[in-house]
Amino acid sequence: MSRYPAMFAALKERGEGAFVPFVMVGDPDPDTSEAVIEALIAGGADALELGVPFTDPVADGPTIQKAHVRALAAGVGFQDCLEVVQRVRRRHPWLPIGMLIYGNVPFAMGLERFYSECAQAGIDSVLLPDVPIRESAAFSRAAEEAGVDAVYIAPPSAAAETLDAVAAASRGYVYAVSRVGVTGTEWASSTVGLAESVERLRADAAAPVMLGFGISRPEQVAEAIAAGADGAISGSATVQIVESHAPAIAAAGLGGAARKEVIEAMSAELRGFVAAMKAATRAR
């Protein structure tokens, strides 16, 4: 059963929006990736969006593309990601966990098997950034049968019929894209037209609306919530912190005091970033 409704209900009662950080599983290696996830949770993340490394991440900008490359170079595949999620789930049974994965993986595995394995690992939702809503029916059916929320993207300035279709198909939450383009802090988010899109989505009884793409500063989180979104998702800014520490982690080797020190420094920076972004969800 999805954990999103309980999360959004609790946040609404407290007068808060949701802050959901994204990180690539396996970046820069599986063990460090788990430490990254734990730091995000300790910083106050309301939920997680976890990426699975892929060779052709067409929706991602340079920062997250490099995270894909680092994780793939570490030999991380889909099954490795599920194992990480399973361990995180055992430690945090209440936390909503979403997976972002490109459509080739479920298509190659077979949709029934893919969503079943996601459910068994404790994943609440799956977002397929390269599957448009017009091609989503088979994915949605398989997800529903497995008890996984199918999440779809509401493009910026989308036609009314597209928003209606996204609203009808999305479970857990709707991913509202803040601007045209790919992920990345290089391009700022925009709330222009967001209020109108949220109103249209809510008219169709959509799941809560989360704003993503280009969210890297607390004021952008506050702007998203002020525009009517139920929360914000930040990816590239989080991944940049991991990237900045990756060379030192590699140099420190597989164990010892040096590695522990570098990972703690990275974790402290991640906790501080998440705490600041989460605080902005309360600034209403």
Can you tell me whether residue 254 is helix, strand or coil?
coil
Can you tell me whether residue 28 is helix, strand or coil?
coil
Torsion on CA atoms 40, 43, 48, 51, rounded to nearest 10 = -20
The reply to whether omega before 28 is within 30° of 0 (cis) is: yes
Beta-bridge mates of residue 175 = 153, 210
DSSP 61: -
Residue 90 is predicted with a pLDDT of: 97
Kindly provide the residue ranges of all beta strands, DSSP E only, lying in 135-201, ordered along the sequence: 149-151, 153-154, 174-177
Residue 199 is predicted with a pLDDT of: 74
Residue 158 is predicted with a pLDDT of: 73
Residue among 193, 200, 192 at smallest CA distance from 174: 200
Residue 179 is predicted with a pLDDT of: 46
Residue 186 is predicted with a pLDDT of: 43
| Catalytic residue IDs | 49, 60
Assessment of whether the complete model's pTM goes beyond 0.75: yes
Neighbours of 160 (CB within 10 A): 12
Residue 180 is predicted with a pLDDT of: 44
Q: What H or E segment, with its residue span, contains residue 30?
A: helix 30-42
End-to-end CA distance of the chain: 31
Integer Cα distance of 154 and 133 in angstroms: 9
Question: What is the chain's pLDDT, residue by residue, as a tens digit (284 residues)?
Answer: 689 999 999 999 999 999 999 999 999 999 899 999 999 999 999 999 999 999 988 888 899 999 999 999 999 999 999 999 999 999 999 999 999 999 999 999 999 999 999 999 999 999 999 998 999 999 999 999 999 999 998 876 678 888 888 888 999 999 988 644 444 444 444 555 667 777 777 776 578 999 988 899 999 999 889 888 999 999 899 999 999 999 999 888 767 888 999 999 999 999 999 999 999 999 65
φ/ψ (deg, to 5) at 94: -90, -15
